[in-house]
Amino acid sequence: MNEQLKRVVREVTVASDEDRILFPDVVKALTGAGVERYHTDLVAAAKTYYMPDGSFEAVGCQRPPSPAAVFFADGVERAVRAIQRQEIGYPEFCSRIAAAGCVGYFVTLAGRRAVYYGRTCDQYVEWFPGAKP
């Protein structure tokens, strides 16, 4: 990943943590930079962005409270709906999904969905608006 792309993913990470950017704008910036997918590890407080050629960049991010031991997909879904309605910002979103037992999530820009998972790989899949499962 070249330095310009590294700057893009770092800025998107910081802007998300500081609640200065909405998810649709994150998707637009990352897609425009050619990012294929990314992974957010809530426990390690890290995001890893992947390019189609296999290159990647790992970036530190804010750590929410420790995730609950049990995964509740409905709690994750409620947090997703709240952030979609702009009732909460990204830091609160991360706190809520952690409280629902989410330890991390993958976002595939090419696949147009996010997969949230818990400690035992229980999961909740959220398709991007307009995407078809």
pLDDT digits (tens, 9 = 90+) for 108-118: 999 999 999 99
Residue with tokens 């990204």: 90
Q: Tens digit of pLDDT for each residue in 91-103?
A: 999 999 999 999 9
According to the model, what pLDDT value does residue 72 have?
Answer: 97
Q: Report the distance separating Cα 44 and Cα 21, nearest Å.
A: 22
According to the model, what pLDDT value does residue 1 have?
Answer: 81
According to the model, what pLDDT value does residue 133 have?
Answer: 74
Question: Can you list the residues of the chain whose pLDDT is less than 70?
Answer: none
Assigned CATH topology for domain 3-126: YdfO-like fold (3.30.1810)
| Domain residue limits, the chain | 3-126
Nearest to 17 by CA among 92, 108, 67, 86: 92
Q: Which residues pair with 59 in a beta bridge?
A: 47
According to the model, what pLDDT value does residue 129 have?
Answer: 84
DSSP tag of 120: T
